Amino acid sequence: MSEPLLSVRGIHTYYGDSYVLQGVSLELQEGRIVAILGRNGMGKTTLIRSVAGLTPPREGEVLFKGRSLRGLPPYAIAQLGMANVPQGRRIFGSLTVRENLLLPTSALAGGRPAQAREGRKRWDLDAVLQEFPQLAERIAHSGGALSGGEQQMLAVGRALMANPDLILMDEPSEGLAPRLVQQVEAIMKSLRAHGHAILLVEQNFALAVSVADSIHVLSSGRFVFQGTPAELARDSEILDHHLGVAGSQTA
Amino acid sequence: MPGGGALPPGTSFPQHLALTMMTGAILQAINGVSLAALLFLLASGFTLTFGLMRVVNMAHGAYYLLGGYVGLSTVRATGSFALAIAAGGAAIVLLGYLVDRFLIRRTGENHLAQVLLTVGVAFVIGDIALKIWGGDSLKVHVPELLRGPMELPGGLVYPAYRFVLIFFSIVVGVLLWVLYRKTQIGAVVRAGVDDREQVSATGINVDRLFVIVSALASFLAGMSGVVGGAFLMLYPGAEWEILVYALVVVIVGGLGSLEGAMIGALIVGLLDAYGRWLLPEFSYFVLFAPMALLLLVRPRGLFGKDI
């Protein structure tokens, strides 16, 4: 196996005083999707925040493209080729759709290779609007005026504008109608086809199983399962105790 | 300062009174708008730095006064008013950077510490200024061209400088608005006001953005001291008087909003002028009572967002 794109090595992360991640490790290869499943409050978001440098781990290490992220501020980590689609979308409401999309191309976000890796699609405003025609229609609207589904597309589009190697996605299906969840699923498959790796955090079992190459189940700050979606579907013990889906695939 | 109008002979007393009131009302409107022009220059930087960095910098008034004094000395040395504006602004950019970098940054997100620290900084600046420029009221010398009395329709006479100030402030306001609303760096600043953390997760160095915005705010403060010192005078204590006004502007307009600073400055300028004219004993009351009422109904101010 080649060197992983992202390698999380035994991280322990605290959120304020609470000890959230208690020794978590995972690897993510280029162009793959790894999903983290778990109930609320198990540390999923903290894991994403640890990787992005927003809540750096106290112990352990995160390597991205073989480089340790220890001590790097979030903007420097992002400039290495990591983008995030955060929980709740966090669209900039004072900015238009166009301004939201162009933000990662600002000179202040400089130092980033404008070119995508070889063989991968290069994203710019036109390419993103072609991928998400709904955004093109609302290009001059304020980000705050969009519907939940449109905001999700905008959050993904904003991440793509940075031409990242890795996209962190925190519960992209949250608060979306089933039809839109299907759309999110299609978007993720398309991103993978375009060569982007995704670290996905989800509560939606069906979505995670459908898109991920491998799945980790997080419970009380530790992984209690790692394997393929097919293996997880067979593991009724994990499904019952840690996901509460009782073997059914209709989370 | 403002001159009165000459009355045509043979006017009856009620007519006379009505005319006097009219003239007064117009003069006070100009007074109010010119104060508003100055307050906008000062408060726009204050509100943007607060909105973006969540830093309460009570030294802003002292920046104003010191900028004014530097401008005053520059005019004395070179005779150039334009150079004085540039020098007053530039001096405060340098000072503001040092205060941010070495003092305010240590306070993190602790607003109480910021207030105490920057009040202390303001006292130090005030004392140093007293040592250098003394305790007298000083006026920044304005070139002849901008100074003379101007005759308005209806026989009113008014110092031309006030109109220059209003015009200048409108130009600065339009430039700031274009910068804030229509450019990419403006979009980054607005994004930073919305959600600082997400901006940094987008790959933007928020610290560098702070330095840029803070330099702009410092320049505006120092520059307002020069243009303000040309009609309000500079003296020890002026920094606190102007700070109170600027704070009311920012609170009424809504923290972090440029449009709010414009409207807030107009409201405060006009309330102050008419308050002093009609209810001289209660002029502070006229200023603060509406602010308190507004805050009861709209705690974020007219254009502010929830913080």
pLDDT of residue A249: 45
Averaged pLDDT for residues B76-104: 95
Q: Can you tell me the distance from the alpha carbon of A124 to that of A142, in angstroms, rounded to the nearest whole number?
A: 20
Q: What are the C-alpha distances in Å from A158 to residues A95, A104, B214?
A: 12, 7, 27
Q: Is residue A220 a part of any domain in this protein?
A: yes
Q: Is residue B201 a part of any domain in this protein?
A: yes
- Shortest CA distance to B234 belongs to which of B80, B78, B71? B71
pLDDT of residue B227: 95
Q: Is residue A214 a part of any domain in this protein?
A: yes
Q: Can you tell me the distance from the alpha carbon of B239 to that of B123, in angstroms, rounded to the nearest whole number?
A: 10
CATH number at residue A232: 3.40.50.300
pLDDT (tens digit per residue) in A75-134:
999 999 999 999 999 999 999 999 999 999 888 887 555 555 666 788 999 999 999 999
Compute the nearest-CA separation of B202 from chain A (Å).
6
Residue A1 pLDDT > 60: no
Q: Is residue B266 a part of any domain in this protein?
A: yes
Q: Is residue B16 a part of any domain in this protein?
A: no
Residues in chain A within 8 Å Cβ distance of B209: 108
Q: Is residue B256 a part of any domain in this protein?
A: yes
Decide if A95 touches B, using CB distance below 8 A: yes
CB contact under 8 A, B191 and A103: yes
* pLDDT range class, residue B7, cuts 50, 70, 90: low
pLDDT of residue B155: 75
Q: Which residues pair with A35 in a beta bridge?
A: A200, A215
Tokens of A52: 């992005």
pTM for this entry: 0.85
- Residue-number span of the structural domain to which A219 is assigned: 6-91+166-243
Q: Is residue B304 a part of any domain in this protein?
A: no
pLDDT (tens digit per residue) in A177-202:
999 999 999 999 999 999 999 999 99
Q: Is residue B15 a part of any domain in this protein?
A: no
- Number of compact structural domains in chain B: 1
Tokens of A39: 């109930």
Tokens of B144: 């002849």
CB contact under 8 A, A94 and B197: no
Residue A248 pLDDT > 90: no
Which residues are CB-neighbours of B284 under 8 A, at least 6 positions away?
Answer: B275
Decide if A117 touches B, using CB distance below 8 A: no
Q: Which residue in A80, A85, A94 has the most chain B C-beta atoms within 10 A of its own C-beta, making it the best mutation to test that interface?
A: A94
Count Cβ atoms within 10 A of the Cβ of residue B81 and give its class: 0-12 exposed, 13-18 middle, 19 or more buried.
buried
List the single residue in B187, B193, B208 with the smallest CB-CB distance to A103.
B187
The C-alpha angle A180, A192, A148, rounded to 5 degrees, equals 25
Decide if A73 touches B, using CB distance below 8 A: yes
Q: Can you tell me the distance from the alpha carbon of B159 to that of B146, in angstroms, rounded to the nearest whole number?
A: 9
Residue B197 C-beta-side C-alpha neighbours within 13 Å: 11
Residues in chain B within 8 Å Cβ distance of A158: 202
Q: Is residue A67 a part of any domain in this protein?
A: yes
Q: Can you tell me the distance from the alpha carbon of B72 to that of B92, in angstroms, rounded to the nearest whole number?
A: 14
- Residue-number span of the structural domain to which B247 is assigned: 36-297
* pLDDT range class, residue B18, cuts 50, 70, 90: confident
Q: Is residue B113 a part of any domain in this protein?
A: yes
Q: Can you tell me the distance from the alpha carbon of A115 to that of B184, in angstroms, rounded to the nearest whole number?
A: 21
Q: Can you tell me the distance from the alpha carbon of A50 to that of A184, in angstroms, rounded to the nearest whole number?
A: 24
Q: Which residue in B179, B194, B196, B202 has the most chain A C-beta atoms within 10 A of its own C-beta, making it the best mutation to test that interface?
A: B202
- Number of compact structural domains in chain A: 1
- E strands, B10-58, are none
Are B303 and B260 a contacting pair, CB within 8 Å?
A: yes
Q: Can you tell me the distance from the alpha carbon of A249 to that of A239, in angstroms, rounded to the nearest whole number?
A: 10
Q: Is residue B57 a part of any domain in this protein?
A: yes
Compute the nearest-CA separation of A82 from chain B (Å).
9
CATH number at residue B276: 1.10.3470
Compute the nearest-CA separation of A86 from chain B (Å).
8
Q: Can you tell me the distance from the alpha carbon of A56 to that of B281, in angstroms, rounded to the nearest whole number?
A: 58
